[in-house]
Chain A
């Protein structure tokens, strides 16, 4: 689905990504793990066209998106759920969901988005209950549901989830990950950036470990989970002893 080659990204003079090669397979969950500042979010932001980068990002083996801006990339169906949720605080839940449709609806369009709305409300019944509520007044978990729901309204082909568990209670994190699996089962390709390495590897098909702007390791998640090196670095000493 997405093939990345020799990707470099910069914040002014600092090179945050130092040549990334990776593949996001169609219909699978691919996860990025690594410590803070390793470059996971930078990688997400490079794919979605938010920050300056060099290299090649091919979609479906035919379209090069490395030079496109974030709006053009969104219109291709590659939709990012930004880190920290970023719902529109002064809009109601339903209006927030409505904004997700802009990529295929057009400013003066008259197309119906009832089907998408129904699908999102079915996935997150909580949002339906709160459809008239302003987004700022909702809890962190509900805002995360809303941010994912808004992305789904865009009829995405690929979903880029940037730290969906950030700031959520452990119970909610579990619930959120079940939803992510559910979205994936409907055929969605997902790239997941996650601090919680154990959970990320459990639900994903492929894992990439990023360290200091480079891919350190990669492989099938089920095997990576049992890799003693990863266990020691990202899952804690206890897990390392078990592995």
Chain B
């Protein structure tokens, strides 16, 4: 399902790799890598803003996919209503998530408490979704369809590709670029960075850390939920979408926790390696990804890219 465009034939222990297969594997890998990168960017923004490693990141992505599924499939809302409405719901989800897992625990005497809370939230989100929607995977139609209502495909360099994969790459780049610009260039982004770096001083000079923290959480959840909505048509909507989190973690460790740029590169690497691994070892692709992770942890634990100041958002 995941790599439907060029499903490998494993009967003879592998297939011949021609350019067409190579290219479609590359596009699939990059698009999955982009999904991981969105998770990873959100992960790093939260670590910088509040020092919390969010274990519920994948579950938020999964809930994002379900929200889109309900709006588009169950309520059959038109696209131009469903998209803004889902963005609003994603932001609300982020706000509720922040108020539930971080705000009451931010001054807890046990500083790991908010991190443990995200683990709890991860369970609540996945089990809650299971109760509401059952364990059967659901289908969501891709954003772009052909005349028969099937996934639109294009021919690129003699290779037939699902447009959804290309769309994932474009949407992910746009979403990540917008969030990057918001943090780096806008007035409120500067305030959010200041609050991330030194909360008592931020409060002292008049910045509301409740406001900046809420804004950060909302942006992060919107980002990963968009990832969920984009990946759902090629993956089906199921609670196991949350496992994408693990590969995003792997990509972040490979790229370096201190740098968003590094994490994005690491995640793209994971996506591409995973995609090519399916050619020969379809069932062991995760093993290969985590093997690379272990190699990195042994030989370059600081990651590919290190930022000079870790707290520069």
Question: B-contacting residues of A (Cβ < 8 Å)?
Answer: 48, 50, 69-71, 74-75, 79-80, 82, 86, 88-91, 95-96, 98-100, 102-103, 105, 107-109, 134, 136, 150-151, 154
Contacts and interface: CB of A to CB of B under 8 A. Distances in A.
Contact of A100 (B197, B205, B313): B205
Contacts of B197: 88-91
A86 B309 contact: no
Closest 6 CB pairs of A and B: A90-B312, A74-B206, A103-B206, A86-B201, A99-B194, A90-B311
11 contacts: A74-B205, A82-B201, A88-B193, A88-B197, A89-B311, A90-B193, A90-B311, A91-B312, A98-B187, A102-B206, A108-B188
Consensus secondary structure, chain B interface? helix
Contacts of B9: none
Given A90-B197, A91-B190, A98-B190, A71 B203 contact: yes
B200 A50 contact: yes
Contact of B187 (A70, A80, A105): A105
Contacts of B207: 71, 99, 102
B204 interface: yes
Contacts of B309: 89-90, 134, 136
Interface residues of B, number: 22
A107 B204 contact: no
Nearest to A45: B204
Given A91-B194, A105-B187, A99 B204 contact: no
B143 interface: no
Given A91-B190, A109-B187, A99 B205 contact: yes
Contacts of B188: 107-108
Given A105-B187, A136-B309, A88 B194 contact: yes
A186 B193 CA distance: 32
Interface of B: 187-188, 190-191, 193-194, 197-198, 200-208, 211, 309, 311-313
B206 A75 contact: yes
Nearest to B201: A86
A79 B312 contact: no
Contacts of B190: 91, 95, 98-99
A86 B206 contact: no
A109 B206 CA distance: 15
B191 A86 contact: no
B312 A99 contact: no
Contacts of A102: 191, 205-207
B208 A71 contact: yes
Contacts of A98: 187, 190
Contacts of B198: 86, 88-89
B204 A82 contact: yes
A50 to B, nearest CB: 7
A86 B208 CA distance: 17
Contacts of A99: 190-191, 194, 202, 205, 207
